Amino acid sequence: MRSDLWQNGFKKTKQREAVFAVLSNADKPLTAMEICTGAEMCGKGLWLSTVYRVLDLFVQKGIAQRNVLAGGDVATYEINKNEHRHYVVCTACRKVFALEKCPLPKTVHLENFCITGHRLEIYGYCEGCYAKK
């Protein structure tokens, strides 16, 4: 775990560590609910509203990123690795796969706009769902 994590002026708590741990071990973006049920809180419960608060903090501090995948209606969160990640979503079964590298050229530039990031999602049918058609 990053040792500088808790030195940005905010307190180290079990809840925050738990949320961070779940996000760190995930290979895809997770919903607040998934984080809540997936968290190991040494036997004690972790409240959903706390998860949201922790996530808000992480997003604000740049530790995590929030987004809503295509067609979905719940937000998902992931650790903000500096190399950005993109996902492939099956519109039939809603499974999510990570893309290894960003297919976007590095040269993108815009007039009168300061680009800080981008979001790319590819959607379609995964092998299994395609077969079913």
Q: d(Cα 119, Cα 85) in Å, to the nearest integer?
A: 8
**Identity of the residue, 71 or 128, whose beta carbon is nearer to DNA in the bound complex:** 71
**Identity of the residue, 10 or 123, whose beta carbon is nearer to DNA in the bound complex:** 10
Which residue stretch of 20-28, 43-51, 91-99, 119-127 sits at the interface with DNA (rule: CB under 7 A)? Answer: 43-51
Q: Which of 56, 91, 93, 94 binds its own copies (CB under 8 A)?
A: 91
For every residue of 25-93, DSSP letters joined together read H-SS-EEHHHHHHH---TTS---HHHHHHHHHHHHHTTSEEEE--TT--S-EEEE--SS--EEEEETTT
**52 is an interface residue for DNA by CB under 7 A:** yes
Tell me how far the alpha carbon of residue 5 is from its chain's centroid.
Answer: 17
Q: Which of 2, 14, 61, 94 binds DNA (CB under 7 A)?
A: 14
Number of residues in the chain: 133
**70 is an interface residue for DNA by CB under 7 A:** no
**72 is an interface residue for its own copies by CB under 8 A:** yes
Residue 98: CB atoms within 10 Å:
12
**32 is an interface residue for DNA by CB under 7 A:** yes
Q: Which residues bind DNA (CB under 7 A)?
A: 6, 10-16, 31-33, 41, 44-50, 52-54, 56-57, 73-75
